[in-house]
Amino acid sequence: MADHLIRVVSPDGLFRAAAAVTTELVATICEKQQTDFTATVALGRLLTGGALLGCLLKGEQRLALVIEGNGPLGKLSVEADAKGRIRGTIRNPVADLPPDGDHFDVAGAIGKAGFLHVWKDLGLKKPYQSMVQLQSSEVAEDLAWYLTSSEQIPSSIGLGVELGAEGQVAVAGGFLVQSLPPGDIGQVEVLAERIKKLPPTTSMLRQGLSPAEILARVFGSAEFQVEQKIPLNFFCPCNQQQIEQMLIGLGRQELSSLRDEQNPVDVVCEYCRKHYSFDREQMGRLIKLAK
């Protein structure tokens, strides 16, 4: 099943939801980041969460999710847009932690203390920024807490990444359900109880359930209308000009030191791992443009 996401709304307009299969996306990005087993699960969950929150955007809007905890993984970053284009990176791709029972210790790898940062480029003069403390460091609960506390939209999120015997990504995906104003307490309670009884997200994905079938499990006999189906893919917009601007921003003194120490100066994109090389002549041109 090709990676994709569907976004739906209930006929009465009281709920909206999305569900996604992200298996290939997570596998591609984690291979580029050279993550170990635990880091793969952690970054895979955040990538899926980014896809789900990205589908709530419009047009050219974009968002970034950053988790910074006190665990060995350090910082995890994901960027997504309304078109299903996603990229992600992780500061320390090797958690080197033993499993916690029959589960990977994602919370231990991220760290029990830390923050979730959210940036949204909505096309305004300044990007929207928010920050919340990590609640469980299991990713899904932290994203749901952000949506409920900061955006004031009661939300439930399920995220799952399951690995094969060799550490490959076997299945990955998730779902998001939100209660919209004016809300219906009775329906919210029924839906919350049904979500609690759902099998793990990875179990549903392993059974071959599509995003639409997962949401059918979530909503039970209640109908929903599919508003949009979005293909999901890895996308990194880095280019030569962007890297040059980044180098110029370092300042003339720093660039001069780099030119003296390295020939050529090599820059690697932290997301896609593409290499950019600058010889002494190119560095000289950048130094003249820097302050």
Tens digit of pLDDT for each residue in 161-176? 999 988 899 999 999 9
What is residue 161's predicted lDDT score, i.e. its pLDDT?
A: 97
Average pLDDT of the chain is: 93
Whether residue 101 is predicted with pLDDT greater than 80 in this model: the reply is no
Question: Residue 177 and residue 9: Cα distance in Å, rounded?
Answer: 10
What is residue 123's predicted lDDT score, i.e. its pLDDT?
A: 82
Binned at pLDDT 50, 70 and 90, residue 187 comes out as confident
Closest Cα partner for 146 from 61, 48, 65, 54?
65
Cβ pair 271, 238 in contact under 8 A: yes
Fold of 240-289: CBS domain Like (3.90.1280)
- pLDDT > 70 fraction of the chain, expressed in percent and rounded: 100
Kindly give, in sequence order, each residue whose CB lies less than 8 Å from that of residue 145, ignoring residues fewer than 6 positions away. Answer: 132, 135
**Residue ranges per structural domain of the chain:** 4-234, 240-289
- Tens of pLDDT, residues 211-256: 999 999 998 877 788 989 999 999 999 999 999 999 999 999 999 9
Question: Residue 122 and residue 29: Cα distance in Å, rounded?
Answer: 25
For residue 9, how many C-alpha atoms fall within 13 Å in the half-sphere facing its CB? 10
Question: Residue 261 and residue 198: Cα distance in Å, rounded?
Answer: 57
CATH class of the domain defined by 4-234: alpha beta
What is residue 1's predicted lDDT score, i.e. its pLDDT?
A: 79
Global pTM reads 0.94
Kindly give, in sequence order, each residue whose CB lies less than 8 Å from that of residue 288, ignoring residues fewer than 6 positions away. Answer: none
